[in-house]
Amino acid sequence: MSPSQPSYQVTDPATGEVLKTFPFATDAEIEAAIGAADTAYTAWREVPIAERAAIVQKVSDLFGERAEELARLSQQEMGKAFDEGKEESEFSQAIFGYYATEGPRLAADQSIPAADGGTAVVERRPVGPVLGIMPWNFPTYQIARFAAPNLVLGNTVILKHAESVPQVALAVQQIMRDAGVPEGAYVNVFATHEQIETIIADQRVQGVSLTGSERAGAVVAQLAGKHLKKCVLELGGSDPMVVLDSADVPKLAQTAWDFRVYNNGQVCNSNKRMIVMDTVYDEFVAELTEKARAVDASGHAPMSSRRAAESIDEQVQEAVSKGATLHAGGVLGEGPAAKYSPAVLTGVTPQMRAFHEELFGPVAVVYKVSSEEEAVELANATRFGLGGSVFSADVEKAKRIARRLDVGMTNVNTPAGEAADLPFGGTKSSGFGRELGPLGFDEFCNKRLYYVAG
C-alpha cells in the first residue's frame, strides 16, 4: 500500500487549488503516538466513568461552540455546503452528548442468574488503544461516532483521518485538548498507509475501525485478522428506496431528491436506487427531472475532488452508452474544479457498471417495477447491504416489505432513521459491526464475566 497523494493537503474542490500541505508523520512520530496512547490508557481507564463522561460532555459543548468554524473548514477541504457542515458539527455535538449522558448506564454491570447459586456479572471494561481510520465525506461526524463511546468507556483513541481533510483533523484534536482529554488519550496521526499497517500490527493496539471503500475495508480486515485484532467496518452502500405508492408523489419525490443530493450524494446510506411501482413511476421521474433541471449549473457545491467528479461521470456515461436514459444534469464541469450537476438516470440494466457499483455522487437512479415481489427482488439484488427504505400510504404493507430487505438498517416511510441513539451499520459487502447507540458502545468493549462461586 502506498499513500494516495504525496502529503496531507488541502485542495479547494471549488477551484482545484492546493492551499496547504502537511507532511506525513515520521516513523518515530508514529511510535511516539502509540506509546502515548498506551501510557494514557493505564491512567484513563482508572478515571471514574462519571469523570470521563464529564470531559466528553465538554467535548460536546465545544463542537457546538465551534460548529461554524468546523463547517468552514469542511467547505474548504471537501466542498460541503456551509449549512450542511454546520448541521454535521451539531450532530457530532449530539453524539458526544449522548455518550456523555448515557455512557455510564451503558457501561453498568449486567447480572446473570447463576443456576448453582453463584454470582455472575458481565462487566463492560475498556480494552486499550484503538485505531480509527476515517473518511472525508463527514469529517466530524465520522470521528464523533467512533471516538465518543470509546473515550467514555476508557479506551484511548488513535485517529487517522483522510488525507484531504487535515485541518478538520487538527481542529478536532484541539477540541479534545481544550475539553481536558488527557494527553495521549486522543492522538491524531498523519499516517501513511504503511504506517497504518504498523499501528494495526502493534501489540499495544487492541482494535481498528474503518469507514471507507470495500477495497480499503478488505485490506484492513486482512491485517486485523492477521494480527488478531477486533475490527469494525462501515463500507459502501447502494441503498434501495422502494416506493409502493403515494398519495402525494411531488412531496415524496422532494423527499427522495433531498436525501439523494445531500452532501452532493456522497453519503454511504443515500437512496442510490429508487425502485418505484409502475403506477407512480412516470410522475415520480418527471418530478425528479424537474428538480434536476432547476439546479443552477454553476451555483451548486462542488464534489469532494476532481477525481470524484470524474468517477461519477464515467459511471453515468458508460450507462448512457449502453442504453440508459439521462433525463437531466450529469454535466461534468471544467477542471480542475470538481463540479458535477445532479442527474436523473433511468433504464439501468445489469450490463452496466451503474447497476452493480456504488454511485457516490448526486445521481438519482430510478427503476420501474410492477409488483411487490419484483421490488423486493431488485432491492436485494446487490452485494451491498447498508440501509434501505420502503414508502407506502399503507403502513402495514410498507412494514411487511421493509422486513424483507437484506440490510443492516431498514426504514418505513423515511429515507433513514438517524440519531445518536440509533445504531448504524450494514451487512454483506457493506461491512460489519455497529456504531452509535448502545450497540456502538459495545464494539470495543471487554464484556468480562465476573463470577463468584456460591
Active-site residue set: 234, 268
Q: Where are the alpha helices (DSSP H) in 188-345?
A: 193-201, 214-226, 249-261, 278-294, 306-321
What are the beta bridge partners of residue 389? 241, 411
Q: Which residues of 165-178 are buried (b: 16+ CB within 10 A; e: fewer)?
A: bbbbbbbbbebbee
- Residue closest to 435 by CA, chosen among 220, 268, 216: 268
Q: How far is it, in rounded angstroms, from Cα 208 to Cα 424?
A: 17
Asked if 241 and 369 touch (Cβ cutoff 8 Å), the reply is: no
Rg (CA), the chain: 23
Amino acid of residue 190: F
Strand partners, 21: 9
* Cβ pair 238, 441 in contact under 8 A: no
Could you tell me what percentage of the chain is helix, strand and coil, using 3-state DSSP and rounding each to the nearest 5? 45, 20, 35
Task: Render 243-265 in DSSP notation, one character per residue.
Answer: E---S-HHHHHHHHHHHHHGGGG
The sign of the torsion formed by the CA atoms of 27, 224, 103, 63 equals: positive
